[in-house]
Amino acid sequence: MQKALADESIRLSGATALKTSEKQDLFQEYRKIREEGMTRTSGHPLPGVNAIAAPVFLFTGSIALAITLVGPAGTFDTSWDGELALTLRQTTLDLSYRLGYSAVPGDEA
């Protein structure tokens, strides 16, 4: 994990020099994403716009792409157990399987 923290500024294209505390915060967010298998945002960075995104994995375990659903905050449900999230999660799992990915449940990302 320390190497991943040290390399994070490279993965962010060197756009920012992250402080150690910022890197720790970023990796806390990564941990949450791994737990849920997706990420979500409500009104940030665009006020009034919500989104949910989940990765599709290659057989190697690397991310091939991410699918993102976007909608107006007033009607777009970002709950982890909502219809959108459940459908997105199943779709990305199905696509990953078709690309040869087979992770142990809970070991994704």
Task: Please tell me whether residues 24 and 43 are part of one structural domain.
Answer: no
Task: Please tell me whether residues 13 and 45 are part of one structural domain.
Answer: no
The pTM of the whole model exceeds 0.85: no
Task: Please tell me whether residues 30 and 72 are part of one structural domain.
Answer: no
Q: Do the Cβ atoms of 61 and 20 come closer than 8 Å?
A: no
Helix (H, G, I), strand (E, B), or coil: what is residue 25?
helix
pLDDT per residue as tens digits for the range 30-58: 888 888 889 999 988 888 999 999 999 99
Domain residue limits at 26: 1-36
Q: Do the Cβ atoms of 15 and 29 come closer than 8 Å?
A: no
Question: Domain count of the chain?
Answer: 2
Task: Please tell me whether residues 52 and 86 are part of one structural domain.
Answer: yes
Task: Please tell me whether residues 17 and 59 are part of one structural domain.
Answer: no
Q: Do the Cβ atoms of 76 and 92 come closer than 8 Å?
A: no
Task: Please tell me whether residues 25 and 43 are part of one structural domain.
Answer: no
